[in-house]
Structure 1
């Protein structure tokens, strides 16, 4: 059976949840391994037929370790069938949920030496009750500015699961 490596850089877990859904779509054809990118130093990308990296935005930025990982593994990422997706709350708005409309993807492509052939953008989730006080207040402030949910007792999932399945199918056919 072919092997797919599903790497994540996730803060609150929505990126992992999205990868798990993708794993279900891929599992009939691929043996999938889900790995935290932040602890993936011992993973040999050459052992996999495909590589998928999912990363979340926090306060407008992707984690620096994502870029370090890409630089370390750049040559193999360019050789492999590899894809990338970004998870953020801005993608809850129409037009911001595409690679062309996402400021975060544009920034990623500008900063990254790796230019994936397949890129996705998915809306994340608000988990107010799970956040530390500082994060809860900051995220609430950002949501107030952007016209989003501000009730800190709520958990709201914005992820479009049909879009996730569609991306999984596109990744499978790479």
Structure 2
């Protein structure tokens, strides 16, 4: 079986997660950054995994739009969805806001890969937001963002069982 991972990455954390996911999958897996790469035909793939990072409660617009435009084709595939976000307690809401409900219900696996702040690569606005988030986390004793490697491995395990 052939797998396609479609993702959007702004500062590289999602890209790193997707590469780790690919490294743990068996079989042929193609990666497509929706912001940079040409999108292949879905006809060439059996399993489609889609995700991206969450900023201010939203996934990248291109990911959301892609799912809506390709809704019928995606419904005929094995699916998995992921988000990269620091708030595990809100991940369920992020999935509902990011992907069509009919696709989420059909998905074999849905995972949050965690988050990581990379301020050295951020634009001014995102640096400002990052500082506010860090301050809020400190005031509320919220655990800091971290990669959830175990969720990446879990997703790979579920997908490997499909092949």
> Which TM-score band (shorter chain)?
0.7 to 0.9
Q: What's the counterpart of residue 158 of structure 1?
A: 146
Indicate conservation of the 8 Å contact 1:67/1:112, yes or no.
no
Q: What's the counterpart of residue 151 of structure 1?
A: none
Q: Which has the higher helix share?
A: 2
Q: Which deviations, in whole Å up to 9, do the C-alpha atoms of 1:89-121 show, x marking residues without a partner?
A: 213xxxx27x5xx32123235x55532422111
Is residue 172 from structure 1 mapped to residue 163 from structure 2 by the alignment? no
Q: CA RMSD in A?
A: 2.3
Structure with more contact order per residue of length (Cα contacts < 8 Å, sep ≥ 6): 2
CA distance in 2, matches of 1:49, 1:129: 38
Tell me the secondary structure at the aligned position of residue 158 of structure 1.
coil
CA distance in 2, matches of 1:142, 1:122: 18
Q: What's the counterpart of residue 138 of structure 1?
A: 129
Counterparts of 1:73-152 in structure 2, within 5 Å, are: 73-91=70-88, 96=89, 102-109=92-99, 113-115=102-104, 116-117=106-107, 118-147=109-138
Counterparts of 1:49-68 in structure 2, within 5 Å, are: 49-68=46-65
Q: What's the counterpart of residue 3 of structure 1?
A: 2
Unaligned stretches of 5+ residues in structure 2: none
CA distance in 1, matches of 2:36, 2:77: 20
Indicate conservation of the 8 Å contact 2:52/2:82, yes or no.
yes
| Shift, 1:40, TM fit | 5.6
CA distance in 1, matches of 2:36, 2:75: 21
TM-score calculated relative to the size of structure 1: 0.79
Unaligned stretches of 5+ residues in structure 1: 149-155
